[in-house]
Amino acid sequence: MPKRQFLKAQWKNLVMLNYEVDPKILDEYLPPGTELDLWEGKALVSMVGFMFQDTKVLGIKWPLHVNFEEVNLRFYVKHFNGTEWKRGAVFVSEIVPKSLIALIANNLYKEHYSAMPMRSSVTATSDGHTQFLYEWKLNGCWNKLGATASDELLDIKPGSAEEFIFEHYWGYNKLSTISTMEYQVEHISWQTGKVRDYVFDADVETLYGKAFEPFLKKEPVSAFFAVGSDIKVRMGDKIVVKQ
């Protein structure tokens, strides 16, 4: 039986830049009971920017916390529960503009949220494309993540790189050396637009540490855009791994 619904919202205009990294730099973040979910033998992390819209927490629209940006760094894992493999994501860092959101998520789900000034823009071009830009202010400087994507929308093909990146329906967080938080994320399969160009200009070392810098300063192996949809996040479960 599904867990009680914690959050309901729309995730819209998702920009995802995907980078290959040395799997060893992810070891300290890997939740017990999970293992890396590799794409064609490669460990990938994604820089993600998107909009939260029409957000309700426990069925309530909290004033000034309904529509806002998020930028996060995540990687991909899988967990075997004894009968099936569940494919999920682990978040290294998540940035939002509201301190209350960070406080709730960090306490309930043991996430790694921080609050910073943020802004975003959507700019239509004259040739059937749209530019999506997410910015956050760190130490007085604006960092940015964005992409220009085609307005022609396509379904995600089974077995594609887009399916691997977008269709992880579980979240996992490391609680201790023997326990993990697991929660379910529900949404339809998203439509995508082909990315023509992208931008990522950020203080990687300050945000994520020296280990990530050489990898996130390279060109991404892929860049994707998805329109998004309504989503639901269920209340979490604690997984204890037997020693």
For tokens 């990898």, the residue is 215
Average pLDDT over residues 65-91: 95
pLDDT digits (tens, 9 = 90+) for 1-19: 678 888 899 999 999 999 9
pTM of the model: 0.94
User: In the Cβ-directed half-sphere of 225, how many Cα atoms lie within 13 Å?
Assistant: 25
| 108 — pLDDT class (breaks 50, 70, 90) | low
Architecture in CATH for domain 5-240:
Beta Barrel (2.40)
Question: Domain coordinates of the chain in residue numbers?
Answer: 5-240
pLDDT score at 105: 62
pLDDT digits (tens, 9 = 90+) for 116-125: 999 999 999 9
Residue 76 to residue 6: CA distance in whole angstroms: 22
Say if CB 235 and CB 183 are below 8 A apart: yes
26: helix, coil or strand? Answer: helix
